Each structure stands twice: as structure tokens, then as C-alpha cells.
Structure 1
């Protein structure tokens, strides 16, 4: 899947920003968004048009604004509230591109420790 060739791209949970590196989108089209002020202060970071400090379940965009919404390793904040917001703000025929971490990695970053073998088996089933 590739990002749209025109229009704004909103990168949710941006951290340092990866949309240019991973998808080749020009900095002048990227708006980085993260709910963590600490993530916005990470250095070095990708250049972008603007940065937003807000929750992904309440994105300060009018309806049908960006051509694309992207997020890399978004598992920690995914939910129906975010998906609803992404749908609301995307232009018609807009694109949503998300990647999620491996189960084990996602668990570790949430502070739940390493999963047991039985927990892994249950998660896979």
C-alpha cells in the first residue's frame, strides 16, 4: 500500500516521525501527532509541516481533511475511538496505513512483562 500522492498525511503516535523514511512522503505534507509531549521533543526527528500534541481519539481536524492517516507500531493506543476519528477526518477515498508490533513486544512496552507459553498459545488461538 502506498500513501496518496497529494494532500496532507497525518502521522499518529509519531514519536520521532517516520513517514518520510518509511513512505517517502515530503515533509511539507506531514503533520505529526502524539499525545506525549516527550515524544515531540525527541531528537533527531523527521522534519514536518506541523506537530500536534493531542489524543488520537479527539483529533482537532474538520471532517475530510487529510488524504492519509498513518501510524507505525500503533498497538498501545489503537481502539474504536481512534478508528472512528480516522474515518471522520479522512478525505473520501483517503488511506489509513497502520502497523502493529509483535504481541510480545507490545506486551513488554505496556509493562506486562514477558508472556508465558500458555498465554502465547491462547493469544494465537
Structure 2
């Protein structure tokens, strides 16, 4: 069985999570780190680095278990995908990168100014 590392990138509200849930593989994203025991999303900006580390560690764990992964994060800059590209190489997994460009509105109430800043930093 061929493993797959699928990266879904896009601005907040572009449909990344919705698409990820429809694709085969274990769905992971840094935002999952902020879901508390009651299932509520509680973002803590000072924990963002820890959230991405958690997502990377869980990604490697599932690949070690022989499971394909689907990682949906904004991935605004190319370097943000580098870890996952190396993981795909290490596990001889097929790498797929999908860009979401729809505008459904952010479910995490991200300010429009923050999204616009991300849009200006976006690397195709």
C-alpha cells in the first residue's frame, strides 16, 4: 500500500477542513490542538508554535503506523510545508498539495484584517 501525504493549504474560511474530512487518510490540523475536552475551540496565540509541533508529531506518528495523512493548515509560506515534504520523502509517501480558494467565512472568527495580511503574504 502506498502512503500519501496530502497537504491542503488556503486562507481561513477557504474550505480546507471540509475538504480534508472527505479525503482518505487521517485528518490533522494545528487547530485541533486548541479543542478542549468539551469539544470547544479555544485559541491561544502563545501556543501556536506548540500546536504546529503537535500537528507535525501526530503526522509522523500516523505515517509510522502505516496510515496516510491529510494535513489542512493555512501554509501561507512555502517553508511552512517543508517539514511535511521531508516526512513524505522519509516514508516514501506520495505527496499531494491542494490549494483551497473558496470563501466560506472563518469558523474561528478570524478578523478580516488578519486574513488580508495572510493574503498579502501568500506564496503561490
Q: Same fold (TM over 0.5)?
A: no
- TM-score calculated relative to the size of structure 2: 0.40
Select the structure that is richer in helix: 2
- CA radius of gyration, larger in: 1
- Higher relative contact order structure (alpha carbons within 8 Å, sequence separation ≥ 6): 2
